[in-house]
Amino acid sequence: MSARNWAFVLCFLAVSGIVFPYFPLPFASVNHGIHSDLTRHDLSALSPTSTIATISSNAEGKVPVIQGWGGVTLEDASNGQMQLTLLMLNQSGYNGVRVGFGAGITKCSSGELGPWNMDWFNETVQLAQQYNTWVVLDYHGYSDLVDSACQTSWLSFWNGVLSTNWNYDRIIWEPINEPVGSVSLLSSAYQAWITQARSLHDNHWIAIENTLSSGNCSFDPTSLASCYPKTTDPLNQTLLSVHPYLFYNVWQGGGYGICSPSSTRTWNNTTAECVANIYDQAMQIASATYHMHILDTEGGTIYNTCKSGCEIPPDAVGTNDASYSKTTLHFIQYLTSLMDSQNMGWLWWEAGEGTCCGALDTWGSSLKFQPVNPPVADDNPPSLTAPTGNIAIEGSILSFQVNASDPDTPPETLTLSCAICPAGAVFPSTSSTGRVTGIFSWTPSLGLSRARRVRLQQFG
């Protein structure tokens, strides 16, 4: 099921006579889509009428499942490289690109990946529209949120971006790359950002980053899942990101929990799969706990966190930022396979033999593409149940429970409400994630006796 909220509308149009049996309504599964009559049943005279419908919001909130490339800077739009990049991504079957910048936004800006330029981003958006590509705009910062002045400048910068009408739905905002700070501090900062965005009527998706990237999390599934900032988005359009890497120097220092070196644990594919499985388990736990989908905005096969002074793994191929090792390559391939099977999104970067001087573009000279087909996210209809065999008696209260549930993972918000209810009927609107229960009650009055037709509809 997508991020669209479902509202189940229970309409009891009439119950008549002195004593009438309650005829059960067949609760068939309801497909998403346009308004359509699903079933009609002519009932005998003097039967009560029941209409149950599902109502969905528009399709703009459908959860994106993105597979793409992240080794792109905003500055590429100034020299013609952006168009070549998006063309190659499109031809290779990818549906997303992460575009980064990181200079001159606050006094805490990293300076990485070049400056912000509104015209460059507008050019990027125009090109993305040609290829129907998702654009993740990455402010490639780190320490902005632990400094109050920088956080204020950060919010002010984004206010200008969010106030601009970019005329393109397939934009995902990445407010900050790998923010330093505790979960509570980052939760507060991200919440301020989301509140600002929605108050400016921006309805794009937002990616928030796990604190693992800044070294503030233990490496086990439960800890990793708890290290995402906690936020509330009124549009339910927030995505969870962690940047999965397998660093040789971190592994040597015992930074990968049970996957770290031991008498039985060496640097090999088994270790790579151990690390990948922990990332995957953590993402599954977080997605189910916080009811948000996954989009890892960065990750890859680079094998060290340091530019010099670190020991190089025995299976290294290359020695610069575009380098990899056979073990880290297996790690990202194995993790990608797990994520694809669970409809999780990803945008990876540098994963090829190092190049220099004469191939200074997005790709280098050793990167090759294998066409892919991004998976389609599961979008199963919710189920709705109510009791059978109820009897409506004139002057007596008819009361029963209605239940709705969402089979998808993570489950979405369900809302039960009543429309066109008869006079005196009570069915308070109620919402919950994954499963919701409502109580309908009504005391029938005189003068409502006549034959009715039952209709099960979807409004979409």
Q: What is the CATH number of the domain that holds 176?
A: 3.20.20.80
Which amino acid type is present at position 176? I
Same-domain pairing of 32 and 106? no
Q: End of a domain among 348, 376, 399? A: 348
> If we measure between CA atoms, which residue out of 397, 394, 393, 413 comes closest to residue 405?
413
Same-domain pairing of 79 and 165? yes
Q: What is the pLDDT of residue 368?
A: 54
Q: What is the pLDDT of residue 425?
A: 81
Q: How far apart are CA 348 and CA 352, in angstroms?
A: 12
Range of the domain at 92: 64-348
Q: How far apart are CA 184 and CA 244, in angstroms?
A: 22
Same-domain pairing of 276 and 245? yes
3-state secondary structure of 214: helix
Q: Which value, to the nearest 10 degrees, does the dihedral of the CA atoms of residues 132, 133, 139, 142 take?
A: 150
CA end-to-end span of the chain? 14
Q: What is the pLDDT of residue 410?
A: 64
- Establish if 1 belongs to a structural domain: no
3-state secondary structure of 92: helix
Average per-residue pLDDT for the chain: 79
pTM over 0.85: no
- Establish if 387 belongs to a structural domain: no
Q: How far apart are CA 322 and CA 302, in angstroms?
A: 7
Same-domain pairing of 453 and 337? no
Cα–chain center distance at 234:
14
Same-domain pairing of 271 and 131? yes
Q: How far apart are CA 459 and CA 394, in angstroms?
A: 32
Same-domain pairing of 94 and 169? yes
- Establish if 414 belongs to a structural domain: yes
Question: Residue 11: which H helix or E strand, with range?
Answer: strand 6-14
Q: How far apart are CA 311 and CA 375, in angstroms?
A: 38
Q: End of a domain among 304, 331, 348? A: 348
Q: Which residues of the chain have pLDDT under 70?
A: 1-61, 320-322, 350-379, 389, 409-411, 446-460
Same-domain pairing of 101 and 24? no
Same-domain pairing of 121 and 46? no
> If we measure between CA atoms, which residue out of 345, 331, 342 comes closest to residue 285?
342
Same-domain pairing of 157 and 256? yes
- Establish if 183 belongs to a structural domain: yes
Q: Using one digit for the tens of pLDDT, what is the confidence trace for 43-64?
A: 222 233 333 233 233 334 478 9
Hey, what are 142's tokens? 């780190």
Number of domain units in the chain:
2
- Establish if 29 belongs to a structural domain: yes
